Amino acid sequence: MEFQLLLLCSVWALGVCAEQEVENLSGLSTNPERDIFVVRENGTTCLMAEFAVRFLIPYDVLALNGIDLITEQTSVAIPRGAQIAGKCGPSESELQISWAAQAFSFRIYFSKEKRVLGSDGKAPEAEVWKINRVQLVYDTSENTHFINAYNPGKHTASTHRLSALVTPAGRSYVCAAQQTLTLISSDHQKGVTVTIYDIQIQPFDISADFVFSESYKCVTDQREQLEQTLPLVLGLILGLIIVITISVYHFHLKLNAAHTQQPTLPRDRSLYKNM
């Protein structure tokens, strides 16, 4: 477990100092691909993030003719023991993860805002949080992933006008399905693909230390859950219809049998003497 302590002093807040801690708890995850990060302020958790992430980064190498350039791609994951930093605020938060001697630095920026959730535009405004920016700084001189990179150096890939993982305030975002983002790199506008999955994130309003608030499932997970439960519901309804049909049919047979067993009275009253 990696533990860091930061002391942040806010001049505008009457000189009050916020004692901030950041922890990499990835070793507690049963999934080796899933990382767990926590930011705590004044002894209370203010940001929690659990996810698996993989980056697909293109870079140039020199062709065999020594003239042309060929674009290769490398797959990068966050290793255990990565360094983290964080920032918590009432309307803006940030998580920064660095590894490989600062060759890679991944930043997620969160913001809180008010928006109308109803489709008719008449619903009252509700407070939500979202990811408004994602940034990856990478150094192609790191030769473990960037083999024979041409003109190696640092590059920055980031999103623009992002509004992702929109979640009602006071709740955590949960999604097992993959979320894919494309970052535009300063390396000749190449596209860096970021794939995040098995996610649970909450950057604001955590009510209990080290505990996520009520979850808010992504649309993809809700759809998959519906697809899984729908056949079961339909099977139960079909079974109920069959049972009702058999019961009605059985009742109808019994009713007919009782009706046929009743004696038939003769219409001619003179026949009563012979009965």
Two structure tokens written together for 205: 């309003």
pLDDT score recorded for residue 247: 73
Cα separation of 173 and 214, whole Å?
Answer: 9
Residue 230 in this model has a pLDDT that exceeds 90: no
Which among 3, 49, 54 is positioned nearest to 24, based on CA atoms? Answer: 3
pLDDT score recorded for residue 160: 83
Residue 79 in this model has a pLDDT that exceeds 90: yes
Q: pTM of the prediction?
A: 0.75
Adjacent-strand bridge partners of 113: 128
Residue 52 in this model has a pLDDT that exceeds 60: yes
Tell me what the pLDDT averaged over the chain comes to: 84
Give me the sign of the Cα torsion angle 35, 132, 138, 19: negative
Predicted confidence band of residue 270 (pLDDT cuts 50, 70, 90): low
Two structure tokens written together for 41: 């302020």
DSSP assignment of 6-61 equals: EEEE-TTTTTPEEEEEEEE-GGG-SSTTEEEEEEEETTEEEEEEEEEEEEEEEEEE
Three-state SS at 112: strand
Q: What separation in angstroms does the CA of 66 have from each of 63, 70, 140, 258?
A: 5, 11, 19, 99
Q: Looking at this protein, which amino acid is placed at residue 110?
A: F
pLDDT score recorded for residue 112: 96
Residue 224 in this model has a pLDDT that exceeds 60: no
Cα separation of 206 and 109, whole Å?
Answer: 17
pLDDT score recorded for residue 185: 97
DSSP designation for 271? G
Cα separation of 28 and 213, whole Å?
Answer: 19
Cα separation of 166 and 14, whole Å?
Answer: 33
Q: Look-up: residue for tokens 């999103």? A: 159
Two structure tokens written together for 259: 């009706």
Predicted confidence band of residue 12 (pLDDT cuts 50, 70, 90): very low
DSSP designation for 30? S
Q: To which H or E segment does residue 240 belong?
A: helix 219-261
Gyration radius of the chain's alpha carbons: 32
Decide which of 164 and 16 is more confident: 164
Give me the sign of the Cα torsion angle 56, 62, 65, 70: positive
Q: Look-up: residue for tokens 């046929």? A: 260
